[in-house]
Structure 1
Amino acid sequence: MEFFDNNGQATCYSPDGNNLYLWSGEPVGYFASDKVYSFSGRLLGWIHNGWLYDRSNRPALFSTDASGGPIRPVRSVKPVKSVRSVRPVKSVRQVPHMKPMRGMSWSDCANSLYFRQ
């Protein structure tokens, strides 16, 4: 599964459907049910219909099979994937806050900043 930003740039991918990596090979997050967490345990957002939503439940990244959400840009050519780094140990997960209403406008962190929020 590969995810793209609001400019159509390839941002991250999941080789196993569980863990997320930047194209540089840096492990940046993982899925837990419908939630997305950083390895430090911070809630980053949610996954729904092929979209990664931010902490405010606004669309940030989309997969090739995403449905709904804002108009998607034309995707750029994907870079070559670098060798993946070793994943860090997962920390205790943050208790998720109440999920806000899903937004339709792009997130302010609709790129690799998604993993730094």
Structure 2
Amino acid sequence: MALDFYDASGRPYAYSDDGETIYTFSGQPIAFLDGESIYSFSGRHLGFFENGQVWDHSGCTVLFTDTASGGPLKPLKSLKPLKGLKRLKPLKGLKQLKPLKPLKHMSWASLSTEEFFGG
């Protein structure tokens, strides 16, 4: 399942060709999906992927996909850049226990996308 992830301004930020590994458009692997959870490669639980959206631990939307439903009003999407060569994926660390899902808000996250992914 191919996914393109857009931020609150409609800028394409990342993608997944296999529905598991999330890459920036420059080819950097930044996270992976495990069911409805998103983890960093170090094993830190970052948030949840539900209804075509990435939700942070406070229930705010960080990114959205073409299939997103619910959540805040979505902006117009910008054109996607060309995908860079994929870099090697780091080894996955021991996964942190996932927290309880928060109540979802109709707002965008206050963290930048880069801060969400730990960059």
Per-residue deviation at 1:110? Answer: 4.8
Aligned 8 A contact 1:29 1:37 in 2: yes
The TM-score, its normalising length taken from structure 2, stands at: 0.93
How many residue pairs end up in the alignment? 117
Any conservation in 2 of the 1:8–1:75 contact (CA below 8 Å)? yes
- Counterpart Cα distance in 2 of 1:115 and 1:12: 11
Task: Tell me the distance in 1 between the aligned counterparts of 2:41 and 2:113.
Answer: 18
Q: Which residue of 2 aligns with 1:3?
A: 5
Counterpart of 2:60 (choices 53, 58, 61) is 58
- The TM-score, its normalising length taken from structure 1, stands at 0.94
- How far the C-alpha of 1:103 sits from its partner, in A, is 1.5
Q: Which residue of 1 aligns with 2:15?
A: 13
Q: Which runs of 5+ in 1 are unaligned?
A: none
Q: Does 1:23 align with 2:20?
A: no
More displaced 10-residue stretch of structure 1: 102-111 or 36-45: 102-111
Alignment partners' CA distance in 1, 2:114 and 2:15: 11
Listed one character per residue, the Cα deviations across residues 17-72 of structure 1 (whole Å, up to 9, x for unaligned) are 01100111000001111100000101110011100011222111000111111100
Q: Percent identity?
A: 38
Structure 2 unaligned spans of 5+: none
